Amino acid sequence: MKETNKPFEDEKDRPGPLWRFFLELSTIGLDAQPVEPSPLSPAHLMDIKPKDWGRAAELARGQSWRWVAGWAEDEDSMVSVSVCVERQGCYMVLRTRTNSQSPSILSHTPYFASANRPERHMHDLFGIEFVNHTHPQRWTRHQAWDNETAPLRHTFPKEGHPPKQTPPDKDYPFFKAEGHGVYEIPVGPVHAGIIEPGHFRFHAVGETLLHLEERLGYVHKGMEKIAEGRTADSLARLAGRVSGDTTVGHAFAACLAMERAANIEVPLRASFIRGLMAERERVANHLWDMGMICNDVGFAFAYYQFGRLRELWLRDNQALFGHRLLMDRIIPGGVKFDVSTEAVNRMKDSFKGLRRELDQLITIIDQNSSLEDRLVTTGHLTLADAQTLGVLGYVGRSSGQTFDVRHDAPYPPYDQLEVKVPVEEQGDVASRFWVRYKETRVALKLMEKLLDKLPEGDIAIAWVNPKTGAEGFGVVEGWRGEILSYVRFGENGCISRYYPRDPSIVNWPALEKLVLGNIVPDFPVCNKSVNGSYSGNDL
């Protein structure tokens, strides 16, 4: 490993996770090369030889790095695979390349459980073989295309080759359990309510759940494919539709990635307004989730009240920013709507009103013994499982995990704020309820600070197309947790690659763990306490 790059010398002067990783790489003779200056700043980029791909994962696991995301790119004669890992707020992207004719590299799944589904996704869409993968069943493919087709290769058309009718995915190799009294319960993918499609395969004895296996991907939208060739503005609109309830979070992350690729600095006022919208999105969704958790155990009063508070909040969004869900309000280079003095006063008044109502409502909830009986100890996710799975957001913070991008790897405007991270230790549904409540209170304080410190200035800067091949990396803390966005630009400022990693991709497997030992009727509230996005998972 070369040691002539100044950034790594600086890192050596103040030992940290990045330098320790590089130091051990050289010690064990790994054939790798740091790329400096990193084209993915603030993430560091490390080129790894294919033969050392598995050893790099083993080293990262041994040093307690967290496996964040993985994506691939078609480079015609080669296919590149990139993996992002994080430790102590430091992000690093490991990258390797393999022959496009028969792409094959070692799997990271033996070292990181969170690599399981992303690697299967890359296999289904790029045809990459991940050697020694622990669960090599197809994941994204279903029956929409055959085993020889790789939809994210350049040769595959955006419109695809759709059959007149996609055959049923009846031969998917679900886990089989046998024994006295063991029975199987298939649920979905079509559900009785209006939720999106997902299949859950349970094994139970009596009412006690022994095993759960998820099958997702039924709303695969081809997001990565239809992003190709878009302008920056068009990609921002697409990003806002990765998961409709996280339109601010995904647009924020995508614009941050594109702006870094273009070397554009967003006006400070625009960053503050982005933060304001991100916190408004957090509050709206937490209010709804708290009501739905109560509803799933029959406490309709709280469901009505939280729903009413959310509706008032969304009406304010419409009045203040022109859209109930704040869709398409974040654009490359800034934001679309300014905040007037009248809007500042209106928001501050609404914060006071929401706090007052929450104080009354939470007292009623806290004194409801039947609600406590249904939520406390239900759906327990241990600290060890949370760490192994790398769960994010309120799911992780309810099981003792403290990571929050706003606090640990702050970006504008959070780099100018002190962000308190509420944490619970019990890891049950009750903890996931209380973390949401506490995060709502924190969000109200953050919004007050943002409004008090709101700087003067422009709300957007003119967009400048990046150079061909420019890359960008963005990470923000969405309301479900960490959102990652990767972009690469092609010719004429058009997108050649876009990959969004919703926190649901990481959090869905936690549901399979935390339901074990619970009764079948408690599955709905366990599911709602995680509230993974089907759409955010099914790119």
Q: Which residue has the higher pLDDT, 156 or 308?
A: 308
Residue 353 and residue 299 share a domain: yes
How far is it, in rounded angstroms, from Cα 283 to Cα 351?
11
Share of the chain above pLDDT 70, in %: 97
Q: Residues of the chain with pLDDT > 90: what percent?
A: 81
CA angle centred on 455, ends 451 and 460, rounded to 5°: 105
Same domain, 239 and 203: no
Instruction: Report residue 278 as tokens.
Output: 């991100």
Residues 6+ apart with CB under 8 A from 356: none
Mean per-residue pLDDT for 275-297?
97
Boundary-marking domain end, from 131, 148, 173: 131
Of 102, 131, 160, the domain-final residue: 131
- What's the pLDDT at 15? 54
Chain segment 13-43, per-residue pLDDT in tens: 445 788 788 778 777 777 777 888 889 999 9
Same domain, 211 and 265: no
Q: Is the same domain home to 318 and 394?
A: yes
Q: What whole-number distance in Å separates Cα of residue 100 and Cα of residue 118? A: 19
pLDDT tier, 64 (very low <50, low <70, confident <90, very high otherwise): very high
The mean pLDDT value for 366-385 works out to 94
Residues 87-115 have a mean pLDDT of 94
152 within a domain of the structure (yes/no): no
- Is residue 172, in this structure, part of any structural domain at all? no
Answer yes or no: do 70 and 48 share one domain: yes
Question: And the tokens for 216?
Answer: 């997702």
Number of DSSP helices (H) and strands (E) in the chain, helices first: 18, 15
Across the range 383-411, mean pLDDT stands at 96
Identify whether residues 305 and 202 lie together within a single domain: no
Residue 384 has pLDDT above 90, yes or no: yes
3-state secondary structure of 86: strand
pLDDT of 160 > 80? The answer is: no
Residue 12: pLDDT above 50?
A: no
Hey, what's the torsion of the CAs at 106, 388, 12, 36, to 10 degrees?
Answer: 50
Reading the block at residue 486, the tokens are 């990767």
Domain count, the chain: 3
Residue-wise pLDDT for 147-159, tens only, equals: 888 999 998 888 7
Residues 473-520 have pLDDT tens digits of: 999 999 999 999 999 999 999 999 999 999 999 999 999 999 999 999
pLDDT at 4: 34
Identify the pLDDT of residue 257: 97
**Residue whose token pair is 């320790």:** 20
Residue among 479, 392, 409, 407 nearest 439 (CA): 479
Strand 129-131 versus strand 104-106 pairing type: parallel
Asked whether residue 189 falls in the same domain as residue 228, the answer is: no
Phi and psi torsions of 304, nearest 5°: -65, -45
207 lies in the same domain as 272: no
Per-residue pLDDT, averaged over 76-103, amounts to 93
Q: Do 80 and 229 sit in the same domain of this protein?
A: no
Cα separation, 208 vs 357, in Å, equals: 38
CA distance 461 to 239: 20
Q: Output the CA torsion sign for 167, 212, 395, 95.
A: negative
Q: In this structure, is residue 229 part of a structural domain?
A: yes
* Tens-place pLDDT, residues 325-363: 999 999 999 999 999 999 999 999 999 999 999 999 999
Return all residues near 75 (Cβ < 8 A) that are at least 6 apart. Answer: 97, 100
- Please compute the mean of the pLDDT values over residues 422-430 and round it to a whole number: 96
Q: What is the pTM of this model?
A: 0.93
With 0-12 / 13-18 / 19 or more C-beta atoms within 10 angstroms meaning exposed / middle / buried, residue 511 is buried
The CATH number given to whatever domain includes residue 90 is 3.30.460.80
pLDDT number for residue 10: 52
- State the average pLDDT for the chain: 92
Q: What is the pLDDT of residue 7?
A: 46
Instruction: Please tell me whether residues 127 and 263 are part of one structural domain.
Output: no
Which residue range(s) make up the domain with 430?
223-460+475-537
Residue 344 within any structural domain of the chain: yes
Residue with tokens 């430790």: 87
Q: In whole angstroms, what is the distance from residue 281 CA to residue 323 CA?
A: 12
Residue where a domain terminates, one of 97, 131, 165: 131
Kindly state whether residues 94 and 243 are assigned to the same domain: no
CATH for 242: 1.10.645.10
Whether 260 and 206 share a structural domain = no
Asked if residue 1 belongs to a domain, the reply is no
Asked whether residue 466 is assigned to any structural domain, the reply reads: no
The H or E element spanning position 401 is none
The model's confidence at residue 192, banded by pLDDT at 50, 70 and 90, is: confident
In a domain, 186, yes or no: yes
**Quick check: is 138 in a domain?**
no
